[in-house]
């Protein structure tokens, strides 16, 4: 039986952090299926979806996570996933939302709250605050890849996002695909 897991790991950025984390998976017969890795501040973060055919591997992996923390100062957490369920594919249109404006608290929350209320699923979200070249003011940039429920009018979502944009004093654009 194939066991599937999600791991989140992070540690002070340095050469070798990816090798340290993936070595423990390789040495325990695990196979990476999907990853997202990036630097946040001076921490390198890893989100890994992996599988393993070995029975009882979860306990071993938990011990390996503790060893990563002690030996390499990498915090790692593993969560087992339930067996895959055969699901009928959900008809959904893909879209991308781009947000740009002065950095402030609540941008991600208010936009994601609006999307959740309208059953719009966030597939990927990347954001960063950076200094404006002209003024040095902190500008917040965010791109969100979403799935719109079948039958959702793109125009209705755009209008709702325009209301959120006005409230936050940011620019929000939506493009399909």
Distance between CA 3 and CA 31 in Å, rounded?
A: 10
Sheet of 121-131: strand order equals 121-131, 138-149, 92-102, 170-176
Token pair for residue 164? 């959120």
Residues 6+ apart with CB under 8 A from 154: 93, 95, 148, 174, 176
Bridge partners for 38 per DSSP = 45
The structural architecture, per CATH, of the domain 92-176 is 2-Layer Sandwich (3.30)
Give the neighbor-by-neighbor strand order of the sheet with 3-12. Answer: 30-40, 43-52, 3-12, 74-81
> What fold does the segment set 3-81 form as a domain?
Alpha-Beta Plaits (3.30.70)
pLDDT value of position 98: 98
The pLDDT of residue 135: 87
92-176 has the same fold as 3-81: yes
How high is the pLDDT of residue 177?
78
Taking alpha carbons only, the member of 95, 103, 101 closest to residue 171 is: 101
Query: Are the C-beta atoms of 124 and 144 separated by less than 8 Å?
Result: yes
Digit-by-digit pLDDT tens for the chain (177 residues) are 689 999 999 999 999 999 999 999 999 999 999 999 999 999 999 999 999 998 889 999 999 999 999 999 999 999 999 877 766 556 679 999 999 999 999 999 999 999 999 999 999 999 999 998 888 899 999 999 999 999 898 999 999 999 999 999 999 999 987
Domain ranges of the chain: 3-81, 92-176
């Amino acid at each position: 039986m194939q066991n599937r897991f999600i791991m989140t790991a992070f540690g002070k950025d340095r050469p070798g952090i990816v090798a340290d984390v993936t070595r423990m998976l390789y040495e325990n017969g695990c196979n990476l299926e999907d990853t997202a890795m990036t630097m946040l501040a001076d921490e390198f973060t890893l989100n890994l979806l992996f599988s393993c055919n070995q029975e009882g591997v979860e306990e071993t992996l938990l011990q390996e996570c503790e060893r990563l923390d002690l030996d390499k100062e990498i915090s790692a957490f593993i969560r087992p996933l339930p067996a895959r369920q055969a699901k009928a594919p959900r008809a959904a249109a893909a879209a991308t939302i781009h947000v740009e404006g002065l950095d402030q608290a609540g941008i991600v929350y208010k936009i994601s709250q609006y999307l959740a209320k309208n059953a719009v699923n966030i597939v990927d979200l990347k954001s960063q605050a950076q200094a404006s070249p002209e003024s040095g003011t902190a500008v917040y940039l965010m791109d969100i890849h979403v799935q719109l429920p079948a039958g959702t009018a793109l125009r209705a979502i755009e209008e709702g996002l325009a209301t959120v944009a006005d409230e936050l004093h940011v620019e929000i654009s939506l493009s399909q695909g």
